[in-house]
A and B are shown apart, each in its own frame.
Chain A
Amino acid sequence: MDYTLIAPYLPDLLSGFWITVQLSVLTLVLATPIATAIALGRDLGPRPLARALAVLVNAVRLLPALIVLYFVFYGGPQLGLRMKPMTAATIGLVAMGAAYMSEDIRGGFSALDRGQLAACRALGLPFGHALRRVLLPQALPLIVPPYMTRAIIMVKGTSLASMVSVADLTAEATRASSITYQPYVFVLLAGVLYLALSGVLVAFQAWVERHLRLRYRLAR
């Protein structure tokens, strides 16, 4: 391995990594509340809303992420929505992530007895209160594992942004590879960085699960 050849591209790789981190954080932070709203809308909202959301979620889940990104980045301008690659990638990835994530959240809520919400209403507990004090403490421990799995999938999914000309880690690694003819060094390096990112999420998951157990005094 020739390090003198690799060194000049390390700053690019790092800036790509930074873009990937930004994209990951942005998609997770935006997708989570949207997914929660979709899940609540589908389970508790009026029937037409629930139906519409179901169709929308399932339509997005049928498509490859790449096609969704193409829709936003290449299809958008046809509707007069011209945006930067980073914006387009974020919108596409958030739409994808929120659709899948809403299913994970719904899965957690579906384990709860619907009678509980009725009981809360009968006792005059406001909805926000019922959600925070009754439903979430039971649902959260069930939601966290699939949610974190989804988060890791979404972080890996940010690599698709490279296909709509975002200069993320994958894009920089492949660019450096094709310039230097050092094909696997950069790709391996990028792989290690992605693994580090998902490692952080796995550590975060362990911390959250422990925190939830302590907070809600759950048995192991």
Chain B
Amino acid sequence: MTLDFSTIPEVWPALMKGAGVTIQLTLAVLILATPGGLLVAFLRLAPQPWLRALVLALSWIFRGIPPLLLLFFAFFGLPIMGLTLQPLPAAILAMTTYMSFYFGEIFASGLRSVPPGQAQAAAALGIPAHRTLMRIILPQTIPAALPPYISHATEILKGTALAAAVAVPELSNAAKKIFVVTYRPLEVLIVAAAIYALLDGVLLLLQMFGERWSNRRRAGR
């Protein structure tokens, strides 16, 4: 049995198109779930106990149900409630929702790593709350939160493969559509795997630069 990559040039445009959708989906979820995660983190640390309990319960539910099932729910379940979405927006909505809760956990533990005395000191000095947050608290959470943040970003990238199940034409879906025609799954899967590995590599590079940047910033103070 030998591998035969001769059909790859012919299917390359289709794979690239799929990779494009994968990148779109990853970026959309990353951009939307980051503020979503911050919101969840702030609610997790809110002064109202009922609010904390509510967010904790939601976090448990969304992190406890398989992402695939959540995607099915967004795609098949929401239309009943009057919200019919195209596959791509449905996937973005589902993934953003559950990733916000994963990010929320990371950001909450990052925020907890900053001693509460600092916020009190800032308040005592008369610094407005939003500026305390933006200039004092958040910059300090970055070193703690960055590595898990990037590793969850790669989880988003890998998670986009699930969107194939709700007919989003991303990379895995494109690969499958090709090999059910060519009857040579291995070659197409190897190429698709290489593309995923490449995209993962980009995120890991970002992490390296991000860590260096945040170390430099800290050292500069």
What residues make up the interface of A, taking CB atoms closer than 8 Å to B? 59, 62-67, 70-71, 74-75, 77-80, 152, 156-160, 162-163, 170, 173-174, 177-178, 183-184, 187-188, 190-191, 194-195, 198-199
Contact = CB atoms under 8 A, between A and B. Distances in A.
A70 B176 contact: yes
Nearest to B192: A67
Given A75-B186, A79-B1, A187 B73 contact: yes
26 contacts: A62-B200, A64-B160, A65-B158, A67-B172, A67-B189, A67-B192, A67-B196, A74-B176, A74-B189, A78-B1, A78-B184, A78-B185, A80-B1, A156-B67, A170-B72, A173-B69, A173-B72, A177-B72, A183-B73, A183-B76, A183-B77, A183-B79, A187-B73, A187-B76, A188-B73, A194-B65
Interface in B57-85: 60-61, 64-69, 72-73, 76-77, 79-80
Contacts of A194: 64-66, 69
B164 interface: yes
A173 B67 CA distance: 14
A79 B76 contact: no
Given A184-B73, A187-B77, A63 B193 contact: yes
B76 A156 contact: no
A62 B201 CA distance: 9
Given A78-B184, A156-B65, 16 more contacts: A63-B196, A64-B158, A66-B172, A70-B175, A70-B185, A78-B185, A79-B186, A158-B66, A160-B68, A170-B69, A177-B76, A178-B76, A184-B76, A184-B80, A194-B64, A195-B65
Interface of B: 1, 60-61, 64-69, 72-73, 76-77, 79-80, 154, 157-162, 164-165, 172, 175-176, 179, 184-186, 189, 192-193, 196-197, 200-201
Q: Interface of chain A, helix or strand or loop or mixed? A: helix
Contact of B161 (A64, A74, A159, A162): A64
B99 to A, nearest CB: 14
Nearest to B22: A64
Given A78-B184, A184-B73, A156 B66 contact: yes
Contact of A195 (B1, B61, B200): B61
A79 to B, nearest CB: 6
A64 B159 contact: yes
B2 to A, nearest CB: 10
B164 A66 contact: yes
Contacts of A62: 154, 193, 196-197, 200-201
Contacts of A67: 161, 172, 175, 189, 192-193, 196
